[in-house]
Structure 1
Amino acid sequence: MKAILMTATGDPDVLKLQDIKEPEISMPAQINVQLKAAGVNPVDTKIRRNGLFYESALPAVLGCDGAGIVTEVGSSVKQFKAGDKVWFCHGGLGQEQGNYAEYNVIDARWASLMPETFSFVEAAAAPLVLITAWGALFDRGGLQKGQTVLIHAGAGGVGHMAIQLAKLKGARVITTVSSVQKAEFVKSLGADEAIIYTQNGFADAVNNLTGSKGADLVFDTVGAAVFKESIAVTAHFGRLVTLLDPGELSLSEARMRNLLIGFELMLTPMLRDLPEARDRHVEILNQCAQYADKGLLKPYISKHLSLEDSAEAHRLIETGHTTGKIVLSSE
């Protein structure tokens, strides 16, 4: 089968289209999936540039997000049959094959039936960002109806799904974006307010919009500088959740505000082999499939590229200005 191999650590040119052996079911709980599409995420580019999570894993197939058709099931699999359409987030970290390929074999307990209304490209775009956004907003952030949430980088992969999920909960959504065009985009998703941070930052605008109280929940998808500045716009007794390491900084103001600070790394169940957390991921995908089939949730695809254009997909991601998601297709 054709697959994109990461042959070394480095720039996007280390991604090579090659023919490799098609994987086969070796365990009773596995399914074989003919992959129709694979989502591209920033973690893929970081792994390519900085190295895999496991030693001696090269060459490796990247890509955590996949969607496709089940072609074969192991002897203990009861929830799927050949012909089922599935979506999932699994593999691509170095220990197990990722989804920049035509086929993949995974443990069936990582997969979920994809939304009936989604194309394979839409389904492949969504698992990692949906699980991340859900975990940050609800499992870590405890967001409730009527509360105000500030979502940073609302036009990005995680951000644009987080906006939709927060609105489904009945929250007021404030989000930051870099341009007027992106402000229009996030408002089309349901955001109540869009702050163009490239003009005057975001802190004054958030405090003006909240009567100087701050947001009940702040969701940082950007990094240390944004995390630090977000402390002052998080309401007293509020929550601040980040996807990234905030680095060394003073937390005296966070302490004075009695903030709950949380981290969301949706890769943890894969990296630490945590079955209960894996099951939670599938629960999230099942619920999101229901929302999607009711027309309440939809990923935005900014670029749909062929599998052989994976290097270009990585270059686009690394600009840091991608709107929505980029997806590779094997067809």
Structure 2
Amino acid sequence: MKAILMTAVGGPEVLSLQEIDEPQITSPTEIKVKLHAAGVNPIDTKVRRRGVFFPNPLPAVLGCDGAGKVVAVGSAADRFKPGDKVWFCHGGLGREQGNYAEYTVLDQRWAAPMPVSLSYAEAAAAPLVLITAWGALFDRGGLEAGQTVLVHAGAGGVGHVAIQLAKLKGARVITTVSSAQKAEFVKALGADHTVDYKTEGGFAEAVNRLTDGKGCDLVFDTVGPSVFEESIPVTAHFGRLVTILEPGALNWGEARIRNLLIGFELMLTPMLRDLDAARDKQIAMLNQCAEWIDQGRLKIHLSNRMALEDAAEAHELIEAGHTQGKIVLTM
């Protein structure tokens, strides 16, 4: 089968389209999937630049997100049958094969039925960002109806679904953007207020104005250290500040005075640490999101659909930043 191999640690040029053997079912509860699309996420580029998480030798197939059709099942697999469409976040970290390939094999527990209203490309774009946003907003952030949440980079992959999940919860959503075009995009997703941090010279003053100086009950940082630090004064006293990145060295004094709860969201932890109960919960998240998607209450936006052989270019686009929605590779 065709697959994109990470042949070394480095830039996008280390990604190479090659022919490799198709994976085979080796456990009774596994399913084999013909992949139709693979999501491209920032974690893929970080693994490529820094190395895989496990001590297995290169080459490796990257790509955590996938969607496709079941073509074979193990003798004890009873959740799916050949012909079923599935989506999942599995592999791509250096142990199990990732999804930049034409086929993959995984345990049936880690796949979920694909939303019937989505294309393979849309479905492949969704699992990692949906689980990340859910975990940050609800599990770590404790978001409740009537509360105010600030979602940073609302037009991005995680941000654009976080806005929608927060609105489904009944929250008021403020989000940061970098252009008028992105402001219109996030408003169409349900954002109540947008802050263009480029034209307004930052976001803190605007957010405090929108909250009458009280700050937001929850701030969700998807950007990094400087934004995390600048978010502390716009988080309400006794509020929550959740990040998907490392905040770096900073002065925690104001966070302490405000009695903030600081949370980290890394949806890959259950896969990295083999926490099966936590992965089961993630599958439940996907099942609920599938229901909302099929009801037309949750949408996945694709900025680029690219061919498998264009994986290096996809990585370049991700690393350039400011992608609106998601990028996928199609087979």
TM-score category (smaller protein):
over 0.9
Partners of 1:190 and 1:56 lie apart in 2 by: 44
The TM-score with structure 1 as length reference comes to 0.99
CA offsets per residue over residues 48-98 of structure 1, 9 Å max, x none? Answer: 111111123310000000000001111221111111100000000000100
What is aligned with 1:286? Answer: 287
TM-score by length of 2: 0.99
Q: CA deviation at 1:287?
A: 0.2
Contact 2:56 2:95 in 1 (8 A): no
Q: Identity, % of aligned pairs?
A: 71
Q: Does 1:262 align with 2:263?
A: yes
The secondary structure found in structure 2 opposite 1:198 is coil
Q: How far off is 1:251 after superposition? A: 1.1
Measure, in 2, the Cα distance between the counterparts of 1:166 and 1:56.
39
Alpha-carbon distance between aligned partners in 2 of 1:93 and 1:24, rounded to the nearest angstrom: 19
> Is 1:231 aligned to 2:232, yes or no?
yes
- SS of the residue corresponding to residue 143 of structure 1 reads coil
What is the rounded CA distance, in whole Å, between the counterparts of 1:215 and 1:187 in structure 2? 19
User: Could you tell me how far apart the structure 2 residues matched to 1:163 and 1:100 are?
Assistant: 28
Measured in 2, the distance between the counterparts of 1:118 and 1:323 equals: 19
What's the CA shift string for 1:164-198, capped at 9, x where partnerless?
A: 10011110000001111111111011100110011
Q: Distance in 1 between matches of 2:244 and 2:125?
A: 19
Distance 2:222 2:314 in 1: 20
Quick check: 2:176–2:203 contact (8 Å CA) kept in 1? yes
CA distance in 1, matches of 2:128, 2:241: 20
Q: Distance in 2 between matches of 1:283 and 1:75?
A: 24
- Give, as a single letter, the amino acid of the residue that structure 1 aligns with 2:258: R
Q: Provide structure 1 residue ranges, at least 5 long, that are not aligned to the other structure.
A: none
Counterpart position of 1:160: 160
3-state DSSP class of the match of 2:153?
coil
Q: Secondary structure at the match of 2:320?
A: coil
Aligned position for 2:254 = 253
**What is the Cα deviation at residue 321 of structure 1?**
1.0
Corresponding residue SS for 1:58: coil
Q: Which amino acid aligns with 1:304?
A: R
Task: Tell me which residue corresponds to 2:33.
Answer: 33
- Counterpart amino acid of residue 149 in structure 1: V
1:98 paired with 2:94, answer no
Q: Deviations over 1:124-177 (max 9, x none)?
A: 000000000000000110100110000000000000000010011110000001
User: For the Cα contact (< 8 Å) 1:37–1:124, is it kept in 2?
Assistant: yes
Q: Who is 1:70 aligned against?
A: 70
1-structure distance, mates of 2:56, 2:85? 33
Q: Which residue of 2 aligns with 1:50?
A: 50
Rounded to whole Å, the distance in 2 between the matches of 1:134 and 1:70 is 27
Query: Where does residue 201 of structure 1 map in the other structure?
Result: 202
SS of the residue 2:282 aligns to? helix
Contact 1:57 1:95 in 2 (8 A): no
Give every structure 1 segment of 4 or more consecutive aligned residues whose post-TM-superposition deviation is greater than 4 Å.
none
Task: State yes or no: 1:180 paired with 2:187.
Answer: no
- Structure 2 gaps of 5+ residues are none
CA-atom RMSD in angstroms? 0.6
The residue identity in structure 2 corresponding to 1:120 is: Y
Matched, 1:216 2:217: yes
Q: CA deviation at 1:294?
A: 0.1
